[in-house]
Amino acid sequence: MRQATSEERLQIAREVHDVVAHSLSLIAVRAGVANYVIGDHPEEAARALTSIEHTSRGALQEMRALLEVLRAEPDGTGSGQQHVGLVPAPGLASLESLAARTAEAGVRVDLDVRDERPQLTPGLDLAAYRVIQEALTNVIKHAATDSCRVTVACQPDVLTLEITDPGTGTRRNGSGNLTAGHGIAGMRERVSIYGGQFQAGPQSGGGFRVTARFPLTGSAP
């Protein structure tokens, strides 16, 4: 019972972190832009405010859907409220929308989807999406760059995700180790649930790389 409760709490923590951290990072960046340009370029400030509105509404939709799931009883019954405004959980099919929101925050995403995407279980599809979302959030917050690349490679037995950026920002502490944070830990946990492999660290030529490999056979449901 304790183990099941702990696993549920970790899952909830990951979902809340990914939704809130990503959305607030985008909102903070766009709010800063609006504040900086509102005097000389009010039209750019208006675009930033529109982006903030769309981002916040999307985050609210995801949070409502998550809360409705948490209120549901084991037999599938809910909290007695109508399931209004709920949206399907995001997955790899939502990457273009994610890239567009990231671009609004000032980081252009070069999407490279190789091979035909196989039919994934909803849980694995969501996990892959969340890994990319968190990696992009880290680029926005830490990389000090205006571009990054997301590669999705689908082979019969493995799904590989790679997110790289050429940024000069640092994500390391004085000891040379990765800076502690919930984002890296959450990505690693999501990948490990499905028996996958996860790596995150600086590239030899500069910048940062996140790599996740999900096995497509024998993985957790």
* Same-domain check for residues 75 and 104: no
E-strand stretches of 48-191 = 108-114, 147-154, 158-165
* Chosen domain end from 69, 87, 105: 87
* Same-domain check for residues 83 and 157: no
* Same-domain check for residues 143 and 192: yes
What's residue 171's pLDDT?
A: 57
Interval 147-169: pLDDT, tens: 999 999 998 899 999 999 999 87
What is the CATH number for 22?
Answer: 1.20.5
Q: What is d(CA 53, CA 70) in angstroms, rounded to the nearest whole number?
A: 26
pLDDT band at 30 (very low <50, low <70, confident <90, very high): confident
**193 Cβ neighbours under 8 A, 6+ residues apart:** 127, 220
* Same-domain check for residues 43 and 119: no
Q: What is d(CA 67, CA 193) in angstroms, rounded to the nearest whole number?
A: 22
Inform me whether the pLDDT recorded for 179 exceeds 70.
no
Whole-number average pLDDT of the chain: 80
* Chosen domain end from 43, 60, 87: 87
Greatest alpha-carbon pair distance for the chain in Å reads 59
* Same-domain check for residues 111 and 147: yes
Whole-structure pTM over 0.75, yes or no?
no
* Chosen domain end from 87, 121, 143: 87
* Same-domain check for residues 180 and 211: yes
* Same-domain check for residues 4 and 83: yes
* Same-domain check for residues 45 and 119: no
* Same-domain check for residues 72 and 155: no
Q: What is d(CA 218, CA 207) in angstroms, rounded to the nearest whole number?
A: 34
* Same-domain check for residues 167 and 127: yes
Interval 105-136: pLDDT, tens: 889 999 999 877 778 888 889 899 999 999 99
Please state the domain count of the chain.
Answer: 2
What is the span of the domain harbouring residue 188? 90-221
* Same-domain check for residues 94 and 201: yes
Structure tokens at 53: 């509105």
* Same-domain check for residues 206 and 138: yes
Q: What is d(CA 134, CA 35) in angstroms, rounded to the nearest whole number?
A: 26
